[in-house]
Chain A
Amino acid sequence: MSSTTDPRMAETAPKKRAFHPSMLLYDQRYRSITIQIFALFLLMLGAAWLIDNVINNLRLLGRSFSFNFLWQSAGYDINQRPIEYNSQMTHGRAALVGFLNTIILAIMGCALATVLGVLAGVLRLSKNWIVSRLVTVYVEIFRNIPTLIWILIFGAVMAESMPAPSAFRGDDPSASMIFDAIAITNRGVYVPAILFTTELGVLPLGPISPSLNWVLILAVLVAGVFANKYIIAHATRVQNATGLRPKTWWKSLLVLFGPVVVIFLALGAHLEYPELRGFNFAGGTHLRNSLLAMWLGLGIYTGAFIAEIVRGGILAISKGQTEAAFALGLQPGKTMRLVILPQALRVIIPPLISQYLNLTKNTSLGLAVGYMDLRSTLGGITINQTGRELEGMLLLMAVYLAISLTISGLMNVYNARVKLKER
């Protein structure tokens, strides 16, 4: 742009100035980019320095950086095994068992917290004085005491106050099973397990191979839910066209549960009851103290927070909505279910995501009661037996990050579906 221009032209049209390095600093168009590039450079320099330092120090300590330990034999046993595992399998397999235990606990905890939280949040707004105060007490007690303390309390209560398996023994035992099916002991709760006479084999999915029976049942359940959705949508169409809503409850029941019951019968499902054998109960499903303590501790604690979120969400909906619903003749229950909650969800979902993430990350407190989650297996015993702290911790961080991002991604999809549609 350094070619000479007509001086008269310069007066009428704004002159296009040549790029000059000083503009990087003084021209607003370039300054922000300059600063960002500079900051990025500093950040990368810092990261490079740290990484170099780590590598140097590891070399000084005579340590290498390698994930080979994941393929070595673990040598330790894990009590709660969602998939096949024994002490001869690898550290990687043990980490996978821990990962699944983390997921199991997170799902159970989130479910309990949601149910408790929604109930408590709605009940806290109840006009019944006793009910609302009781719920207030629950919320204030649980959210003001650290979750670790609750976990330890639940663990200690079960270990110290429940009868030992030996109390169920003898002609006149001091403890007995509930309905001859459920045994509550100081080692956990034994409940009947569902077994099948016909096994369809397993779904080959690499390291995790779920039983085909359960995959089939799950698939039928999901299909039932979609079919039910179609039935309800059809009923709504009929109602919109004719003003009369056809009865759907028996169709829904049939579609939701009929096929599942048929499959259960076809596969020869039966219950296996726990029975006292040797030192412990055998058979049935063993819900260990560690799992129950973590589940109750995390679920009830997080439930108290969700209750407050739900209450806040409901209060955020203007009172006019309730009054309008009442004016239309809706009963209080239907008003809550059909008018208030759907709108409140828009306020509730975003903070609810944080609570789910909190609960999931808090599962890493498992070691306190000996729950063998990812932190206890990969981040605890494996690191301890192999001495690979840096590798183990990096892997642990990556996995928790992946879990959290997945949860938050799924919840954001749900949030996008319930949020106010602006057209």
Chain B
Amino acid sequence: MKKTVFVGALTAATFGAGFAHAQTTLETILDRGELICGSNTGQAGFGAPDANGVWQGFDVGFCRALGAAVLNDPNAVTFVPLTSQTRFSALASGEVDVLARNTTWTFVRDVDLNLTFVGTNYYDGQGFMVTRDLGVSSALELDGATVCIETGTTTELNLADYFRVNNMSYEPVPVDTAAEAQQQYLAGACDVYTTDVSALASSRAAFASPDAHAILPEVISKEPLGPVVRHGDDQWGDIVQWTLFALIAAEELGVTSANLEELKAGSNNPEINRLLGVEGGFGEMLGLDNEWAARAIAAVGNYGELFASTIGDQTPIGLARGLNAQWTQGGLLYAPPFR
């Protein structure tokens, strides 16, 4: 009996790790005819199914752009909802091709977990949300508070560090998903809900009375969120990376879903021409065809359009561009040149 259990576990481990290396990721996706994208279990604005069951959001939009670039169909994407606990195993085992699920780029994840963070699509930081009637105006007043925290996240570690460094105590209430955290927080089982500020804003927008909750001014960490792929398949890593850069560069160069068709005919800016495949043959270097970036932009718009339509000022989430503005606008977005 003991042996059976052991062998069973080894079998599971074997098969889990086994199939990822039969062929390259790109070949697998082309054979399969669809892209499998690891997404959030449901976070309004970033990745959640809408009323019709269609996945919508900022991270989802990136996967759709990738689907358009690789498979010429933004809807040929299957979304696999992953908790913060399951996401890396799902990616490592080949269950998903790419992880676009507000995942923080850290040293250990990049180096020790053998993942490749291809870039940052949202510069975030960890913050605290409290109810306004608690009368707290700074995170430094939270000594002794009960804090809801998603387990298996970087925020869990930041939280421990922040309270320790500031000589404060707290009572962690570990939860598995954002939905559970919101339920506990709204029930008053914790005083504070902490996670990335963008996710706090997203949660708050979904509350019955958003105005009763305040996000405290302290941002206690750097959380560069971005798409993640497995180590070892650099071609696929390049495709994901440059799709992200294509969306960012498109905004910088003024290419929008509105003027895309016009610019595809050719323009006098050679970088736009190279981006849209009019010249340079960049798509073929990636193992795709030359219109890949144009299709990605056509699917979801450029970075600015995607941001505005999912999480921007005009949406219920209401996030300002802040750090996520183009470098020319005082932000951190900076795509390498298409050359």
Contact = CB atoms under 8 A, between A and B. Distances in A.
A380 B14 contact: no
Interface residues of B, number: 54
Contacts of A280: 144-146, 171
Contacts of B160: 75-77, 87
Contacts of A102: none
Interface in B146-204: 146, 151-152, 156-157, 159-161, 163-164, 170-176, 183-184, 187-191
Given A186-B187, A386-B112, A50 B151 contact: no
B32 interface: no
Interface centre among B13, B156, B183, B191 (most CB of A within 10 A): B13
A interface residue count range (under 10 / 10 to 19 / 20 to 34 / 35 or more): 35 or more
Nearest to A160: B187
Interface string B3-23: 101110111011001101100
A397 B143 CA distance: 38
A370 B174 CA distance: 5
Contacts of A86: 164
Interface string B110-142: 001110000000000000000000000000001
A290 B190 CA distance: 13
A217 interface: no
B108 to A, nearest CB: 8
A387 B112 contact: yes
A389 interface: yes
Contact of A372 (B3, B109, B174): B174
A57 B188 contact: no
A390 B12 CA distance: 10
B88 interface: yes
Q: Which applies to chain A's interface (DSSP): helix, strand, loop or mixed?
A: helix
Given A54-B14, A186-B189, A380 B144 contact: no
A164 B188 contact: yes
A329 interface: no
B88 A279 contact: no
B2 interface: yes
A376 B151 contact: yes
Interface in A361-413: 367-368, 370, 372, 376, 380-381, 384-387, 389-390, 393-394, 397, 401
B112 A282 contact: no
Contacts of B264: none
Interface of B: 2-3, 5-7, 9-11, 13-14, 17-18, 20-21, 84-85, 88-89, 92, 108-109, 112-114, 142-146, 151-152, 156-157, 159-161, 163-164, 170-176, 183-184, 187-191, 231-232
Q: Give 6 nearest A-B pairs by CB, closest first.
A: A384-B152, A57-B17, A87-B160, A278-B144, A387-B113, A164-B188
12 contacts: A75-B157, A75-B161, A76-B160, A370-B173, A370-B176, A381-B156, A384-B84, A384-B152, A385-B152, A387-B113, A390-B13, A401-B2
